[in-house]
Amino acid sequence: MSKVWSYKPLFVLLNDRHLDTRLLAKRSGVSKGTIEKLEADEDVKLSTLIKICLALQCSLDDLVEIHLTEEWESPQSPHRMSHELWTVSEEEVLITALKDGLSISQIVEDLGRSEAAVRSHIVKLLMNNALE
């Protein structure tokens, strides 16, 4: 399965502004190892992306693109966008946990929801600009 997200927009932005990853690390305070994770489209904390946004004076959608494929929307897919109801308190816990930089596995454990349900709800929140 291919990645649902890509940090390609970040690297296009860096190229457009004639910046390299070394300078990005210095300006944002993000380690070179974390920059390498971004280059490999690996998981990073939301707080890391926010540091980069602040350093580059941009928004999250300037750094990451989300690809919702048929595979993710298929009724048989474990990653299908969940339309489960979330209580207001669960959603507040999720938003706070993301802003505090908790990992997906920690959030899954705290909420008692499946990883797919948590990831789906994060995408929903991002699409509704609820994480700004």
Query: How far apart, in whole angstroms, are the C-alpha atoms of residue 38 and residue 44?
Result: 7
Provide the pLDDT for residue 110.
81
Provide the pLDDT for residue 2.
58
- Assess whether pLDDT exceeds 50 at residue 81: no
Query: How far apart, in whole angstroms, are the C-alpha atoms of residue 26 and residue 124?
Result: 32
Domain boundaries, the chain: 5-66, 70-127
pLDDT, greater one: 132 or 64: 64
Amino acid at 48: T
pLDDT one-digit tens code per residue, 4-55 = 889 999 999 999 999 999 999 999 999 999 999 999 999 999 999 999 999 9
Provide the pLDDT for residue 27.
95
Percent helix, strand and coil across the chain, each rounded to 5? 60, 5, 40
20-24-26 Cα angle (round to 5): 120
pLDDT, greater one: 89 or 31: 31
**Architecture of the domain defined by 5-66:** Orthogonal Bundle (1.10)
